Amino acid sequence: MKRLLILALLLPGSAFADCVLKNELQGQKHFVCQAPGASKSVHVLDLKGGFSETAYFHGYFLKKEIEAGVLKGVQVRTERAFSALDKKSQDQLLLIKKCVIDNYRASVSDEFKTGLKNLHRGLKDAGSQVSWGAFEESNYMVEFSIFADSMQRQMDESPRKGALKVFASCAPYFIGNTLAKPFKLLAQGLRSIKMGCTGISASASSSRDGALLHGRNFDTGLLGFYEPEQVIVINRQKNGTTSVGLGSAGLHYAGGISGINSHGLSVSLHELQTEGTQIRYDRGESDIAPYLLHSVLLKARNLNEAIAMIQTRKGFGAWTFFISDAKTDESASIELSGDTVVVARRAQNKFLGQSNHFLGGKTSQEGYEYSLNKTLETRARLAHVERTLNEDFGKIDAQWVINRLSGHTDELVGARSFGRTTTKLYTAATHVMQPGRMQWWMSVAETYPTNRSHFVGFRLLGPGQKAPVEILGTTKAWEDPTKPAWYDSMKYYIQAYLANEQDHSSIAGLDRTLALLETASATAAQDGVFEFPYEFMWARIKVLRAAKNIMSGQRDIAYTDLTEAQERLNTISARLGSGLHDYENFQLDLWRFRAETLKPQAKQSRAAQGAFRQEAQGLLQGLISKYPRQSELYDLQWSLGEEAQLYIVLDAEIRLGTVE
């Protein structure tokens, strides 16, 4: 199951042959590095100085990449989320967004704000037309998306509580019960800019060759914007600390994704949800989480200093700062819920896994997940990596971490393409770091899923070399050689996800998604694999297509859609039902009930409708007893009691990522 890294050690200087100097200004350098055999290159910014003083050169060197990259993706997703609202709700929520971001701006450090201004100045000097307002806002939107999610949950539970939270800092902007649904729509739209992510920290004691390893997947709805232009940001500071951040064009705080520094620290950031969001601190007293973690790399020399920085600065949203220290063979999971900071776990000479739910006592009281499958999948991912880390203790190496993060095992049901697996359909990058050796491996996104691409190994070199990094070689994640078509099918499911993100409103958009799902199913079938995500989401979208056809008066077409959807749902139940999780069997019954209910009365089977509803209600009651804090289950319980299902189907969110 292991692949050996292909070391580039054949000729003296071969480490530099694949890094080309593209730009140089005032001693600051931009390289493009590409490993032999890989079809994609990586930008490397070799910069002298800290964050704000070097940000200009990031903007100046990478204008074209930034204009098409992750910050544009944030703008596109934000505009799309607000466009789903009616004009009155849109105007009110835009005012609230402005107020909240004004408060963020008043709270963050001058160093962060100066860095943003310098990066934008570099962009403008390079000829960019990106406005300052759009650029600045994009850097705050990930925190605002957590706020919006928190608000929609609080508005559902207690509109008065939610209103008071915003009123405290945004007195002119009132929130009433009428904004509960708009906040829900906005939160759904903004989830596409969130950061999921599985993490692994394997101590030197657990590794094969005595080196601590820190790995992470970067899972984001910004797939298509983030991964095309990946950037390694090297900051060589006068204080002697050198940091390496692994990010994307425009994210000068690249260490806020993943990174290492010359003191043996490695870091990764993992997003969560909380009701405990904060809007404002005293001037300069806090920072957005990605920049705060990047500043840890620039300033902290050990794990204790890193923890102290986070405890002092606090934050706005819901995050886990996952940090390892190669010097002491330690790792820690530091959880932040607004102004609450908890060291949830800390281990030495052992290992830690990381996913996207709170584990600390105090933070867990404020944390939640927006759906049951999100609750299930974050816990399944954590259970899977910690079980396998324990089983292979003493055998862990970089290839092991790459294989684990690229894996397609659902801890609850076994082999799966996507859903509750460590790799997600929206995994944009995978990083595996060895901070004690200042080296790392990163996927270069030649294909989808991105972790089917080459992983390129890098080692940081000292100043004065011909290139800032040595390319160690390439490797790929292990795949089952008996199922090549199954792996190939996954790219079509990802393309279906991207098509759905682009257009899930029109019949033409739904048809594009359905066609890609059919291709995924047919490709997997070549290896004898019948994939629940492909089949269920096809049926799920068919029911939505029927609802839209009913609205447009195309009732005969709608009836055909409903019949085909039910047939597929019945096939899934017959072939896979005994091996599915209760929530999946509930979903099968739920959507069979909804499909039957949408049929013309003359063609409905009341017996079938009643049976599906009864089965769904029984399964749902069991799920509620196990997960009483999962508020979406109560919405589903209410919906099952309704006779009219048309508008419920039209309003239901399509989630190919979590298969719901």
One domain, residues 388 and 526: no
Digit-coded pLDDT (tens) for 212-227: 999 999 999 999 999 9
Digit-coded pLDDT (tens) for 489-534: 999 999 999 999 999 999 999 999 999 999 999 999 999 999 999 9
Q: Where are the alpha helices (DSSP H) in 17-170?
A: 51-61, 63-67, 70-83, 87-107, 110-125, 132-157, 159-167
> Would you state the pLDDT for residue 588?
98
Q: Which residues on neighbouring strands pair with residue 247, listed in sequence order?
A: 231
Instruction: Quickly state the pLDDT bin for 152 (edges 50, 70, 90).
Output: confident
Extract the tokens encoding 535.
């089949």
Please determine, for residue 97, whether its predicted confidence score (pLDDT) is greater than 60: yes
Q: Which residues, 6+ apart, have CB-to-CB distance to 344 below 8 Å?
A: 320, 333, 334, 335, 358, 359, 360, 363
β-strand 230-236 against 42-48: which pairing, if any?
parallel
Please determine, for residue 162, whether its predicted confidence score (pLDDT) is greater than 80: no
Residue 13 domain-assigned? no
> Would you state the pLDDT for residue 166?
63
Digit-coded pLDDT (tens) for 429-470: 999 999 999 999 999 999 999 999 999 999 999 998 999 999
As a whole number of angstroms, the distance between CA 616 and CA 599 comes to 19
One domain, residues 298 and 360: yes
DSSP code for 225? T
As a whole number of angstroms, the distance between CA 308 and CA 327 comes to 18
Instruction: State the residue range of the domain holding 556.
Output: 484-650
DSSP code for 252? S
Residue 2 domain-assigned? no
> Would you state the pLDDT for residue 633?
96
Residue 637 domain-assigned? yes
Please determine, for residue 16, whether its predicted confidence score (pLDDT) is greater than 90: no
- Residue 38: phi and psi, rounded to 5, are -90, 145
Extract the tokens encoding 472.
């160690």
Extract the tokens encoding 206.
């657990």
> Would you state the pLDDT for residue 191?
85
DSSP code for 603? G
Q: Which residues on neighbouring strands pair with residue 351, listed in sequence order?
A: 202
As a whole number of angstroms, the distance between CA 239 and CA 500 comes to 48
What CATH number should be reported for the domain holding residue 359?
3.60.60.10
One domain, residues 546 and 459: no
One domain, residues 364 and 454: yes
Of the given ranges (86-90, 267-271, 316-320, 536-540), which has the lowest mean pLDDT?
A: 86-90
Query: Looking at 424, 453, 476, which one is the last position of a domain?
Result: 476
Instruction: Quickly state the pLDDT bin for 71 (edges 50, 70, 90).
Output: very high
One domain, residues 459 and 563: no
Of the given ranges (14-18, 146-150, 585-589), which has the lowest mean pLDDT?
A: 14-18
Extract the tokens encoding 655.
């989630």
What mean pLDDT value characterizes the chain?
A: 93
Please determine, for residue 648, whether its predicted confidence score (pLDDT) is greater than 60: yes
Digit-coded pLDDT (tens) for 236-277: 999 999 999 999 999 999 999 999 999 999 999 999 999 999
Mean pLDDT of 50-65: 98
Digit-coded pLDDT (tens) for 111-135: 999 999 999 999 999 999 999 999 9
Cα dist from 377 to 105, 428, 575, whole Å: 34, 18, 23
Of the given ranges (176-185, 362-371, 597-606), which has the lowest mean pLDDT?
A: 176-185
Residue 16 domain-assigned? no
Other C-beta atoms closer than 10 Å to the C-beta of 386 total 17
Tell me which residue of 33, 1, 41 sits closest to 17, measured CA to CA.
Answer: 33
Please determine, for residue 4, whether its predicted confidence score (pLDDT) is greater than 70: no
CA 405 to chain centre: 14
Tell me which residue of 540, 487, 490 sits closest to 514, measured CA to CA.
Answer: 540
Residue 601 domain-assigned? yes
- Exposed e or buried b per residue across 100-124, where buried means at least 16 C-beta atoms within 10 angstroms of its C-beta: bbebbbebbbebbbebbbbbbebbb
One domain, residues 285 and 426: yes
Q: Where are the alpha helices (DSSP H) in 271-418?
A: 289-299, 303-313, 361-366, 372-391, 398-405
Mean pLDDT of 183-210: 89
Instruction: Quickly state the pLDDT bin for 196 (edges 50, 70, 90).
Output: confident
Please determine, for residue 339, whether its predicted confidence score (pLDDT) is greater than 90: yes
One domain, residues 378 and 412: yes
One domain, residues 453 and 517: no
Mean pLDDT of 156-180: 63
One domain, residues 505 and 456: no
As a whole number of angstroms, the distance between CA 87 and CA 300 comes to 47
Residue 201 domain-assigned? yes
Please determine, for residue 15, whether its predicted confidence score (pLDDT) is greater than 50: no
Mean pLDDT of 532-555: 98
Largest Cα span, the chain: 81
What is this structure's pTM?
A: 0.95
**180-190 helix and 70-83 helix, angle to the nearest 10 degrees:** 150
Extract the tokens encoding 117.
């201004």
Query: Looking at 424, 452, 476, which one is the last position of a domain?
Result: 476
One domain, residues 411 and 437: yes
> Would you state the pLDDT for residue 7?
35
The structural domain count of the chain equals 2
Share of the chain above pLDDT 70, in %: 94
Q: Where are the alpha helices (DSSP H) in 158-222?
A: 159-167, 180-190
Query: Looking at 446, 476, 506, which one is the last position of a domain?
Result: 476
Extract the tokens encoding 344.
């949830």
Residue 543 domain-assigned? yes
Mean pLDDT of 164-170: 64
Please determine, for residue 10, whether its predicted confidence score (pLDDT) is greater than 60: no
As a whole number of angstroms, the distance between CA 74 and CA 64 comes to 16
Digit-coded pLDDT (tens) for 294-305: 999 999 999 999
Q: What is the CA radius of gyration of the chain?
A: 25
Q: Which residues on neighbouring strands pair with residue 242, listed in sequence order?
A: 236
One domain, residues 567 and 614: yes
Tell me which residue of 322, 324, 432 sits closest to 382, measured CA to CA.
Answer: 322
**289-299 helix and 110-125 helix, angle to the nearest 10 degrees:** 100
One domain, residues 360 and 450: yes
Stated as kind and residue range, the H or E segment containing 170 is none
> Would you state the pLDDT for residue 159?
62
Residue 544 domain-assigned? yes
DSSP code for 419? S
- The length of the chain is 660
Please, are residues 146 and 291 in contact by the beta-carbon 8 Å criterion?
Answer: no
∠ Cα 651 366 201 (to 5°): 100
